Structure 1
Amino acid sequence: MAADNAYLLDNWQREAGRRFEAFAELFDPWTLGHLERPGPLTGLRCWEVGAGGPSLPAALAARVGPTGQVLVTDLDTTWLTRLADGGPDSAPVRVLRHDVVREEPPGGDFDLVHARLVLVHLPERAQVLRTLAAAVRPGGRLVIEDADPALQPLACPDERGPAQELANRIRRGFRSLLAERGADLAFGRTLPALLRAAGLREVAAEAYFPVTSPACRELEAATVRQLREQLVAAGLATPAEIEEHLANLREEPDREPEQELDVTTAPLITCWGRRPLR
């Protein structure tokens, strides 16, 4: 992540850890499936950009193995300290505080460069993507995953009652805060064109979003708790509405099944390409 106070969801905030855990449950299987799509990762030299939490870098290190290397970078490495030693069957992991916007890449000729939910928050996103593409060795791959909230903007696509209407109104407030901070709410769909413009070949992309799961509700609740003050200060929700929404998200044993909130995420667009051999 870049050193910019405009970033809405700082890693140092208390709820960041819960958000990282929810992201891991929701997206790690999807992401790892795409990273391994061309074949095993054994022995590769990898750069995980703006990692945030430890789950994906740890899984990547296990798959690369002791003959590979994993560089993990973020502006805030608070949640990455336990990656120091993954055991004898994992790749050596180097954790580095790094500003992907303002600093040169920490090395080059990577077999695999990956970033998930990073570029969408950066006004300099196109420049950063070109920088990441240039760090890939000839024949290596760049995999960028980013959100496209404008493609499916609702928290509850099945808006069947007041609880769902409130969830969608608060999600609209969250989207407006993101836009004010420079996020591109339609960025995900632009990734194929951007990767081709950066000189990559064999470019393809897929989209994924879970329609409902406990992890979706946990991610929504952690995000709303983290942004509570900003939502209220901007007049996008009242304290009472936020408490009501958080109560609706909690699992209650005596709640009727039809009253359960089916909460989804913005679509995650996964795009990949290969740097030509020459």
Structure 2
Amino acid sequence: MNHPASGSPGDSSYLLDNARSEAGIRFDALSELFDPTTFRHIEGLGITSGWQCWEVGAGGPSVVTWLADRVGPTGRVLATDIDTSWASRAAGGVIEVLRHDVGRDEPPVSGFDFVHARLVLVHVADRERALHAMVGALRPGGRLLIEDADPASQPLICLDEYGPEQALANRLRAGFRSLLSARGADLAYGRKLPRLLREAGLTDVTADAYFPVTSAACDVLEAATVRQVRDRLVAAGLATDEEIDRHLASVASGRLDLTTSPMISAWGRRP
């Protein structure tokens, strides 16, 4: 249960609320897992000093601080989220943090050289509006990078289900996915990104996917996520407290090879 949310809708309908104490642990694990892929893509898009950047659904500070380092004192990094409590820690210098709902609000400004959202749109109710807002905020020639999960394409957390511990982990993952779906998450969103970027008018659209097969960060992310949603899993009849405790003990033991849903990265340029 590695699920998204580097930047997240922070209202009460969102399953992985930024306000929960586990959020910081999740952000750190997500950063360890996905920052290298994100940074590689941004560097490939040609980021340089002076760029004006918008980080949508910023969540934790790792991406915004990296962007600020790349654009330098003549650039700008706008970090937005519904809940800015974590991203605000990076505010200052070229980094501006603003409370903003990309699925409902108009873009704060336009003319960006680069706009990025990671593990965000899968959770946004009006994904189409959000995507078109980001495209519209680009200057001509500006680049958009959207990275989102596709749990439907790889639904397991233990690819090698060879025993009862792995079977329980996969059953809890299925329960977690059902909670996400009930809150409007599109679990097949990642695979749609290339088409959606083309339909939004972008050119030179390219995409790839990444997911670790096993990682210590996956263990940290899973434990924090399960603790964050355990009450809802139990209330929905998807797991018992005993099963969750048993699973958390298995995660802590390091006996599980935990993976994540594939993160699909798609990028394009505004003509």
TM-score by length of 2: 0.95
Aligned length: 264
Tell me which residue corresponds to 2:3. Answer: none
Equivalent residue for 1:57, pick from 49, 52, 64: 64
3-state SS, counterpart of residue 150 of structure 1: helix
Tell me which residue corresponds to 1:117. Answer: 119
Tell me which residue corresponds to 1:256. Answer: none
Equivalent residue for 1:45, pick from 47, 52, 67: 52
Corresponding position: 1:22 with 2:22: no
8 A Cα contact 2:11 2:82, kept in partner: no
8 A Cα contact 2:10 2:18, kept in partner: no
For residues 22-44 of structure 1, the C-alpha deviation after alignment (integer angstroms, 9 at most, x for no partner) is 00000001101001103243210
For residues 212-231 of structure 1, the C-alpha deviation after alignment (integer angstroms, 9 at most, x for no partner) is 01000110110000001000
Tell me which residue corresponds to 2:180. Answer: 178
Q: Give the Cα–Cα distance (whole angstroms) in 2 for the partners of residues 59 and 29 of structure 1.
A: 11
Q: Give the Cα–Cα distance (whole angstroms) in 1 for the partners of residues 253 and 83 of structure 2.
A: 32
Q: Give the Cα–Cα distance (whole angstroms) in 2 for the partners of residues 125 and 188 of structure 1.
A: 12
Tell me which residue corresponds to 1:167. Answer: 169
Matches within 5 A, 1:1-278: 1-2=8-9, 4-85=11-92, 92-251=94-253, 260-276=255-271
Q: Name structure 2 gaps, 5 residues minimum.
A: 1-7
Shift of 1:4: 4.5
8 A Cα contact 2:54 2:78, kept in partner: yes
Aligned Cα root-mean-square deviation (Å):
1.2
3-state SS, counterpart of residue 259 of structure 2: coil
Q: Give the Cα–Cα distance (whole angstroms) in 2 for the partners of residues 245 and 103 of structure 1.
A: 40
Decide which structure has the larger Cα Rg and report it.
1
TM-score by length of 1: 0.92
Q: Name structure 1 gaps, 5 residues minimum.
A: 86-90, 253-259
**Structure 2 counterpart of 1:92, which letter?**
V
Tell me which residue corresponds to 1:257. Answer: none
3-state SS, counterpart of residue 250 of structure 1: helix
Shift of 1:5: 3.1
Percent same amino acid at aligned positions? 63
8 A Cα contact 1:2 1:101, kept in partner: no
